[in-house]
Every structure is written in C-alpha cells, then in structure tokens.
Amino acid sequence: MTDITVPLYLLAFVVLTHFTFVNINIGLGVFTLILRWMSLKKKELEEVARRAFKFLVATEIVSGIFGTMITVVLAGLWTTLVNIATIVLFIPIYISIIGIILRLTSIIGFWYTWGRIKEYLHILIGIIMVVSSFMIPGGFRYIFAVIDYPVGLESVSPIVGDPIKALANPVYPPLIFHTLIGATSIGFFAAATGFAWASKKNDFLTPWAGKAALWGSILIIPQIIVGIWFWITLRQYSRYLFKSLMGGIGRFGASQTNVSPTFLGMILLAFILLILGFIYNSNPEERRYGYMLAPLAILALIFGEFTHDYGRLPYMVITGDTGYPAELFVNKLVVLNLANIASGLIPILGMLLLFITLLYLYLAKGFIE
Amino acid sequence: MFNPMIILSTSSYVPNALWLSAFGIYIHAITIAIAIGFSVLMAILEFIGLWKNDSDYLRMAKLLSRVLVVAFGFGAATGTLVEFGLVQVWNGVLIAIASVAFMPLYLELVAFILEGALLVALLYTWNKFSNPWLHWIITVGYATGALLSGVFITSVNAWMQVPWGVGGLVKTIYPWAPVYGPTVLNPDFLLTLKEALVANFVQGTTGSVLVNPIVIDELVSKYGTLLSDPLIALKNPYALPSVTHQLIATTLVGISWVLAGVSYKALKDPSSRAFYMKMFKTISIIAALLLILQGLEGHEMGVAVFKYQPTKFAMIAGLEKSGPDPVVGLTMFGDPNYVFDGFDKLLAMAKNHPNPDLTIAGLSVKDIAVSDTLKALEKLPTVYPLYMTKITIAVLSGLIALMFLSTLILKSFWEGKEKLLLYGGLLYGVLMPTIAGLGWAVREIGRKPWTVYGLLYPEELITPIEINSPVATGIILGIIIGISLMFYTIYIVLTKPPRILGGGES
C-alpha cells in the first residue's frame, strides 16, 4: 500500500490555490474588456477598466507561479496519470498550451500598449487576452472530464488512447460551461469587492462595484442551469462521483467518500451570492455587502472543486461505480522524503505568499485608492 | 542481423518533433538571455550607480527593468511551452522527470518563485526605499533567482548528456563509453525497461506508452525503486562545466544585446550620445571580460566532453579517423601530438565488443553498439562545421573584445574613433547569439542518436500521437504571434515609457 497523503495534499494545495486566482483572472479579463469596450463611447470608463485590469495583473502573477507548480507536482508525483493525459488528451492540452502563450503575451501587450496604440487595436489585444483565457481551461478541463469518465482511454498498459474519440466526452460540455460561467462570475464578484474597498476614496467606482456584483449575480442563473445539467451528466456517466456528492441522500446510494456537505454548501453559497449581488447593486454605498462577495465566491469555488476532486477518492479515474485507485498513479520510481519536501516547501511558499500578498495589497492600495 | 534502417523508417515524425522542440527552445532562449543577461547587468549598473552616486547608471538599470518584465512574461509563456513540449511530445521523458530530474525541477520551482516575486518587487520599489541599497539587494536577489533557475534546468540537460549514476550500464552496451559514476539507478529495473523499450522500438512503436501505472508497479514490485539518490543529477561532474558554460553564454548574449542597443542609440541619436557612450564604455568592458571568461571555461567544457562523450568529442574535433589535434592536445595534455580517438577507433571497439553474446530484446548489444556508433558518425558532417564556425566567430569576437578592453589603456588612440567601437558593439550583438546558438546546436545534435546519452533514443520517448504539419504549424503560429507581441511591446516600452506600473521614470 503506497501512502498517497503527501502527494495528494500537495496537489490539492497547488490546484486549489491556482484555481482561485485563475478564476478571478478569467473573470477580471472579461470585466476589463467589457469596460474598455464601453469606454469607446464613455471615456470616463477607461479609468475604471484600467483599475480592473491592474487587479488582474497582480493575481495573474500568483496564478502563473502556481500553474508552474502544478506541472512539476503532476509530472513529478503523478507521473503515469500525466502520461495517460498527454496521450489521450493530446489535442485539448495542445489547445491549452497555445492559450497559455497567447494569454501571457496578450496581458503584457494589453498593459503596455494602453493609450499608445489605436483603440480598436488595443481592444483586439484584449479580445485575444479573453479568448486565450478561455482556451486554457477549455483544454485542461478535458483532464477532469476524462478522469470522471475515461472516454478515449482504450488501454492503460500499454497506454492506448483515441484522441479524437476523447473529444466527445459527454462530461466535458457541462463541465466547461460550468467552469467558464463560474470563472466569469467569480471575477465579477472579485471586482465588486475590490471596487467596494477602493470606492472609499474613489467615489466614481461605487456604481461599478454594484454593477460588477449585479453581473456576477446574473451569471449565477445560467450557472444553476448548467450545474443541473452537469449533475445529471455525472449521474449517468460517473456514478461513483455522483454518489459521493449525494452522500447517500435519498435513493441515490452512497460511495466510500461523502462530499455532500461541500456540495450542498456550494449550492447554498450560490444562492446567497445571487441575492447578495442584487442587494449590493441596489445600494452600492453599503460596502459591507460588497466586501462579502469575493470571499463567498471563492469559498463556493473551493467547495465546488473539493466536491469534484475529493469525491473521486479513493479512486483517481472513475469507471462507473468503481475506478482506478489513486495510489496506482503516484510516483514510485524514487523514494522521496515527501514529508521533508512538503515541509521544506511550506516555509518558502509561506514567505513568498506573504510577500506576494503584501505586494498585492500594495498594488491594490496604490492603484485602487 | 540487426538492420537500423527498418527501425528508422518507423519513426517518421521524430524529425518533425525534433525540429519543433529545437524551435521552441531557441525562442525560449531569447527570453532567457534577456532575463538572465539583463538582470545581471542591471545588478552591476545599479551597483555602480549607487556606489558612484551616478544617476545615469540608475537610469540605464531602470530602462532594463522595463524590458525585463515584458521578457519575463513571455519567458514564462515559452517556458511553459518547452515544459509541455517535453512532457507532451516527448512523454517518455516523464520517467526521468519522476526520478533523476525531480529534485532539480523542484528546486528550479523554488528559484522560479523567487524570481517571479522579486521581479514584481524590483519593479515597484524603484525610488521607494529611503536606503536605495535595499532595492539593489532585491535586484541581486532577482538575478540570483534567474541564475539558479538556469543552474537547475541545465543540470537536467547535463544528465541527459551524461547519465551519471548508471555506473557501467552504458559501457556494457557501448565499449567506448566511460563508467558513469556510482550505480544509483537500479540496473535490473533499467535493463528490463530498456528491453521493453527496444522491443517496442523494433516494432516501430514508441516506448512512451510503457510509462504507465501497471508496468511501473510491476517493475517496482519486482526490482525495487528505480533511483536511490534523488540528487544524482546535481552530483554529475558534467553538470558544473555545463552550468557555468551555459550561464556565461546566456548572460553574454543578453548583455551583448544591450551593448548593441546602446551602440545604435549612440550612433543614431546625437542628443543623447554622451549618455549612451558612457554606458557603452562600461557595458563593452563587461561584455569583453565575459567573453574571455567563457573562452577559459570553454576549455573545461571541452575536457568534460572528452571525458564523458566520446562520440560527441569525435564529432566536434572532426575525427573520422583517430589523430592529433595540436591545439587541443597542447591545451589539454601539453602534448600537440596527442592522438585522440576518432570514429575508426570507436567503431573498432564496438566491433570487438567484450560481450558479443549479450542481447537486449533479442538484439545483440554488439550490433546495437556498431549501429549507433555509425549513426553518431553520420552527424559528424553536421556537427564539425557548426563547431568550427562557432570557434571562428568566437575568435573574431575575441578580437572585438580586445578592442573594447584596449580603450582602458589606449584612451588617446580611440579619441575620434568612437564610431569604430560602436560598430563593434553592434556586431557583438549579432555574433554572441550566433555563437551561443551554434554552441547549443553542437551540444544537442552532438548527443545524437540518443536523447539520454547511450541509454534512450528519441524514438523510444516520443508520443504515439503523430506530430504532423497542422500540429507543428499551430504551435509555431502561436509562438510567432506571441513573440511578435513581445517585440512590439518591448518597442512600445522603450519608445513610449509607461506611465502606469511605476516601472521606471515617466
């Protein structure tokens, strides 16, 4: 029996941190582009767009670093799983790679060319920035779809996959819509909270804090519909995971893992956010509502990801009511003192996170107030 | 009889993938040269500026920091591309990533985090500290992070050049090979895996599909873990000269671009000629000293290649037949008549194999040794001219470096002839990346036909998914769009300094 505790928790830590910032980034990118586009007619909105974008830049640095960490943790500690993914999901991962290149360069381009090139060209770079941000989860979410329901994986040893067939995974469409709508909504809520804070000294941001909250809330409505679609899809194609998230409620049956509390928590948070967003928009002077939006949205995201990923355990790849155990995929080629590695990493990360947080606050303070 | 042609014909997309990887790495190298070269130069210029209380040096350092942030972003993007390229296109390499390369990559991650965090800090804290030396410490920290990233990544590449820790395994197959250190990679595990890889290779199937949980579990339960010393890549004696050589080269390339930039501005912009001439004088000396240092270090690199990569040494020395190389013989052994082993000797050793009856997956190791030595010989007509071109350009550059250094003692001679120096600076910015590019090509082509020297072929590690033209075109197009945006942004940053972000003066 291989102990998977450290590799699993290390993966969970980097994935959840990365996802938190990535979701904020994606949404902030959309928000910035909308504002920038609107600023063509209302010049005063350019400053609002600029401030939203400055938030994006600060969070992008953290998500970028954690994205690199995920690659090392996955390839180093979950090696064979990565190998299966690279073969079966060659096309989606390829799309994500192109997305990463375009996303990072377009952010830098958008930042430094602001006010220095023709407006339509600047907006074009913004469009590349937003589209490429969708391309990244657009490809990588196939990995989650394939471990929920391994379409295209024809054999594990030797690894035989059908990359074209893998594209037709029925779990993927609801998952990707759920991801993209969710990310956009979270980004809007993050903007609402940031603007609420900033509006203390910059009153012109107050209505836009409310509008960001409103747009975030409105997006929860399609998110609920897509969520139900995803729920039905999991029931059909990934029964073990479905049972995990239902936790034995009603006649759905139970699995070895019960993630129903986080699943229900996520739903509850979605409804709270839906209502709170409307309330805050109706009176954006009440900043305390605005302050609550981003933390609640992030909590909902963490609950959702935890439900989706922890619910698979003790399996890593679900095949109906059972699956391939997670321990099968963990690296056994070398005896690594993982506890030492993790404990060595934690203080370094702690220091750097503190440092980045301080910078982030400095940036936000410098920019927003 | 083992026929290598049958095997070669089955891996039709390996050349596509090799070209694609080379393209990605070279593009990434541009940003790395900026990240490392500019940051080292920034640390030096900022130091001089603070020490002499000279605002010109600080102005130049700030200018570099603006370009640095653009290059860092693009470097992260292309770095991801290279990383994924390695994992996705050469997914068999995962076996090394999960064993020998794990610790260097883990440490590189820490260095990268340091780099990322400190870049933000150095950008936002210009003129923010009451004690400006604090900012300089951040700059030095960033440069250290960038250099450390290079150390760890290069050590992984060095292990692929010289697989330290396999003991006599490579020598068992190739009699001309040295013993690669202690045996910390489980030989039974490795041999069984190699048997399976060769069997797949012969059938025209990639071995990367064998890096799966079932096969790994079976091997581990039968033979134990693959690697007993996770730090072996850092203990590789080939790593130190490789790291030093690569880092000096990378720094030199970055600095040479700055030198070319200031030379151009000094030639074209009379209004700011004094400032750029002043910068030129300092930067050209740094660039010249680095080239001399690289020349000395190049000798150490050459010795390491001689010791550990007999086929590559024969390639770069153009030794189809054994014979003396007066210059190398004199510098290496103090004997101009020293006879170096050429491919004739290496082939003879392979043909007179000490274990002729030994087989791997049914193939005689003698046949494998002969066939692979011949394949290496096929690369000689490519590698030797590349290497000689590189050396010729290096000699020419050395003359320019001497010209720069002479300004220290022949000040009156150069008065009124500054333009000549500036043209030398422009040329330097072209010659340095050319030498580095040629050097990297020699390093990489020279290790062929293996990806991991003497152990693994590209055909064994490549993805089973065909790397066809649409795939390659998509990646190349993405890179071209990205790099165009990068250069355009750098142009904008340099010509219209940003008001936002506080990245320097307005």
Q: Which one, of A82, A158, A12, lies nearest residue B97 by Cα?
A: A82
Predicted local distance difference test score (pLDDT) of residue A369: 37
Mean pLDDT computed over A87-108: 86
> How far is residue A76's CA from residue B101's CA, in Å, rounded to a whole number?
8
Question: Taking CB atoms and an 8 Å cutoff, what residues of chain B touch A362?
Answer: 124
Among residues of chain B, what percentage have pLDDT more than 90? Answer: 48
In residues, how long is chain B?
506
A334 with A342: CB under 8 angstroms?
Answer: no
> How far is residue A63's CA from residue A24's CA, in Å, rounded to a whole number?
9
Task: Tell me the domain boundaries of chain B.
Answer: 13-161+468-506, 239-454
- On the question of pLDDT at B404 being above 90, the answer is yes
- As given in the structure block, the two tokens for residue B474 are 């998509």
Mean pLDDT computed over A254-274: 92
* Residue B178: strand, helix, or coil: coil
Distances (CA, A) of B306 to A192, B35, B162, B176, B383: 63, 31, 12, 12, 15
B474 or B407: whose pLDDT is higher? B407
* Interface touch B73/A104, C-beta < 8 Å: yes
Angle at B389 between CA B483 and CA B300, to 5 degrees: 90
A35 in reach of chain B (CB within 8 A)? no
Phi then psi for residue A325, to 5 deg, are: -60, 145
Give residue-wise pLDDT tens across range B227-284: 888 889 999 999 999 999 999 999 999 999 999 999 999 999 888 889 999 999 999 9
* Residue A334: strand, helix, or coil: strand
B481 in reach of chain A (CB within 8 A)? yes
* Interface touch B83/A71, C-beta < 8 Å: yes
* Least confident interval from A131-135, B21-25, B337-341, B478-482: B478-482
Q: Enumerate the β-bridge partners of residue B167.
A: B180
Mean pLDDT computed over A253-281: 92
Predicted local distance difference test score (pLDDT) of residue A356: 62
Mean pLDDT computed over B390-415: 92
B4 with B375: CB under 8 angstroms?
Answer: yes
* Interface touch B492/A158, C-beta < 8 Å: no
Give the sign of the dihedral formed by CA B378, CA B380, CA B383, CA B389.
negative
Give residue-wise pLDDT tens across range B96-123: 888 899 888 888 888 887 787 788 778 7
Give residue-wise pLDDT tens across range B324-354: 888 888 878 888 888 999 999 999 999 999 9
> How far is residue A269's CA from residue A306's CA, in Å, rounded to a whole number?
14
Predicted local distance difference test score (pLDDT) of residue B109: 82
Establish whether this prediction's ipTM goes over 0.95: no
Predicted local distance difference test score (pLDDT) of residue B497: 58
Tokens 């920019």 correspond to A367
Mean pLDDT computed over B484-488: 75
Name the DSSP letter for residue B34.
I
Q: Enumerate the β-bridge partners of residue B227.
A: A334, B185
Phi then psi for residue B453, to 5 deg, are: -50, 120
A261 with A303: CB under 8 angstroms?
Answer: no
Predicted local distance difference test score (pLDDT) of residue B8: 39
Mean pLDDT computed over B67-81: 75
> How far is residue A238's CA from residue A234's CA, in Å, rounded to a whole number?
5
* Interface touch B87/A86, C-beta < 8 Å: yes
- As given in the structure block, the two tokens for residue A293 are 């939006």
Helices and strands of chain B, counted as H and E runs? 21, 6
Contacts of B173 (CB under 8 A, 6+ apart): B360, B365, B368, B369, B454
Q: Which one, of A242, A292, A248, lies nearest residue A272 by Cα?
A: A292
- On the question of pLDDT at B502 being above 50, the answer is no
Measure CB to CB from residue A83 to each of B120, B211, B500 and give the nearest one: B211
Mean pLDDT computed over B6-15: 56
Predicted local distance difference test score (pLDDT) of residue B4: 38
Q: Which one, of B379, B183, B190, B394, lies nearest residue B302 by Cα?
A: B394
* Interface touch B97/A76, C-beta < 8 Å: yes
Predicted local distance difference test score (pLDDT) of residue B9: 38
- On the question of pLDDT at B3 being above 60, the answer is no
Half-sphere exposure of B316 (CA within 13 A, CB side): 25
Among residues of chain B, what percentage have pLDDT more than 70? Answer: 94
Mean pLDDT of chain A: 86
Predicted local distance difference test score (pLDDT) of residue B10: 42
Asked whether the bond before A150 is cis by omega within 30 degrees of 0, the reply is no
Beta strands in B210-271 (DSSP E): none
> How far is residue B77's CA from residue B83's CA, in Å, rounded to a whole number?
10
> How far is residue B245's CA from residue B295's CA, in Å, rounded to a whole number?
9
Q: Which one, of B388, B390, B392, B422, lies nearest residue B407 by Cα?
A: B422
Phi then psi for residue B339, to 5 deg, are: -95, 120
Predicted local distance difference test score (pLDDT) of residue B325: 84
Give residue-wise pLDDT tens across range A348-368: 666 566 556 655 565 555 543
Angle between helices B55-84 and A45-77 (to 10 degrees): 50
Mean pLDDT computed over B186-198: 85
Q: Which one, of B355, B288, B374, lies nearest residue B3 by Cα?
A: B374
* Interface touch B225/A125, C-beta < 8 Å: no
Predicted local distance difference test score (pLDDT) of residue A67: 81
Q: Which one, of B265, B259, B253, B264, lies nearest residue B280 by Cα?
A: B259
Amino acid at the residue A362:
Y
* Interface touch B88/A90, C-beta < 8 Å: yes
- On the question of pLDDT at B443 being above 90, the answer is yes
Mean pLDDT computed over A301-318: 92
- On the question of pLDDT at A302 being above 70, the answer is yes
Question: Taking CB atoms and an 8 Å cutoff, what residues of chain A touch B91?
Answer: 82-83, 86-87
Count chain A–chain B contacts defined by CB atoms under 8 A: 219
Residue window 165-224, chain A: list those with CB within 8 Å of chain B: none
A237 with A148: CB under 8 angstroms?
Answer: yes
Half-sphere exposure of B319 (CA within 13 A, CB side): 23
- As given in the structure block, the two tokens for residue B462 are 């490549």
> How far is residue B309's CA from residue A139's CA, in Å, rounded to a whole number?
41
Distance spanning both ends of chain B, measured CA to CA: 72
A359 in reach of chain B (CB within 8 A)? yes
Predicted local distance difference test score (pLDDT) of residue A355: 59
Task: Tell me the domain boundaries of chain A.
Answer: 5-368
> How far is residue B43's CA from residue B36's CA, in Å, rounded to a whole number?
11
